[in-house]
Structure 1
Amino acid sequence: MTTTNLTLAGLAAVLAILWANLRPWWKGKRELKQLRAFGTGALLGTLSTMCAGGLLGWLALGANRVANTGGDKATLGTTGQSSASTLASGTLGQLTPEAAVVVFLITIGTVLAWREAGKQDKKRLVGGVFCGATLCLTAGVAGALVWLPDLLNAIGLALRGTAEGAGLL
């Protein structure tokens, strides 16, 4: 599939992965530390949808294609019905140069977390990246996170101002 929109079948695949990651937390003690790996990955996946190119932009488009293709095969194989109709799309917008630095630093932090994580947490990180990168292509999730680019831009500007000696900190 060449569409950049998430399909209904792709949504089914993403929701299955989301459920698989959140279910153990829900059935367990519901401690926030249990969601750390998935949340870290979901943040990076979400931020990747704002990248116009580069590795993170490629990751976001690839996750969408995998979700759409895999979800269509799964729903077709399970039900005999294709669910390839697209959902209303959304976008979080573009990054400013300052916000791009913040996203880069978050990416480095996520890579370091990946290297230190155990096998189960690595799976959760990947699941989080996948869910974040695909769900943010829908109008509903993108609309709910409309504040995120402004926050990244503000953090990036504060970082720049500090580095240039503006005395923000």
Structure 2
Amino acid sequence: MTATTGITLGGLLTALLVLIANLRPWYVGGREMKKLAPFSKGFAAAVCAAACPGGILGWAHTHTGGVANTVGEKTGAAATGTAPAAALSRGQLVGLGMTGACIVALAVFLVYLAWKAAGKEDKRRIFGGAYVGTVFVGTAGVAGALSWVPGALNAAGQSVVDAFNGTGIL
């Protein structure tokens, strides 16, 4: 499972609507960075999951694009009367190794714990960030800009392994 569903303009529309819905309260409410924290947590978890070539996280990333496209095309058609759009250029993060996969699992688990402890509004924001992140990383532009993420995750994981192996301590 290494191919992601191509994102259409309709799918991108839904992600942009969710992004605007999350950025507007921050923008009009004093622009405090802590108000963006729940959304950012979800976005970061989605980027980590997008680096996964398979498993549950890879499957969720792969199939979110199809959901976004379906909802977005219906939303766009209902609001504007336009026909479904062609897919945008596909993007994918590649190169995640086992050491990086451990970091991904820990990061996603931490976001899950934050979601469980959050209130109703913050739960929606975390979910919204995950949705936007998954859709955005499905495009070539954002995936290309984040192509460094799998390497960084692998390096972080290798640092943890080295620390537990005692490498470089003495």
Q: Under a length normalisation based on structure 2, what TM-score does the superposition of the two structures give?
A: 0.93
> For 1:29-48, what aligned pairs fall within 5 Å after superposition?
29-48=30-49
Deviation per residue, 1:108-138 (Å, 9 max, x gap)? 1011101110000000000001011110011
Q: CA shift at 1:24, angstroms?
A: 0.6
Point out where structure 2 has 5 or more consecutive residues left out of the alignment.
none
Q: CA shift at 1:83, angstroms?
A: 3.0
Matches of 2:95 and 2:125 in 1, distance apart? 27
Q: CA shift at 1:32, angstroms?
A: 1.0
- Tell whether the 8 Å contact from 1:9 to 1:82 is kept in structure 2 after alignment: no
Residue of structure 2 in register with 1:57 after alignment: 58
Letter in 1 for 2:129: G
Letter in 2 for 1:94: G
Moved more, 96-105 or 149-158: 149-158
Residue of structure 2 in register with 1:97 after alignment: 98
Letter in 1 for 2:116: R
Letter in 2 for 1:166: T
Runs of 4+ aligned structure 1 residues displaced above 4 Å come to: none
Matches of 1:53 and 1:92 in 2, distance apart? 12
Matches of 1:106 and 1:11 in 2, distance apart? 25
Identity of aligned residues (%): 43
Point out where structure 1 has 5 or more consecutive residues left out of the alignment.
none
- Tell whether the 8 Å contact from 2:13 to 2:72 is kept in structure 1 after alignment: yes
Matches of 1:73 and 1:29 in 2, distance apart? 34
- Tell whether the 8 Å contact from 2:96 to 2:151 is kept in structure 1 after alignment: no
Q: CA shift at 1:167, angstroms?
A: 3.3
Q: Under a length normalisation based on structure 1, what TM-score does the superposition of the two structures give?
A: 0.94
Aligned alpha-carbon RMSD (Å): 1.4
Matches of 1:134 and 1:46 in 2, distance apart? 10
Q: How many residues align?
A: 167
Letter in 1 for 2:25: P
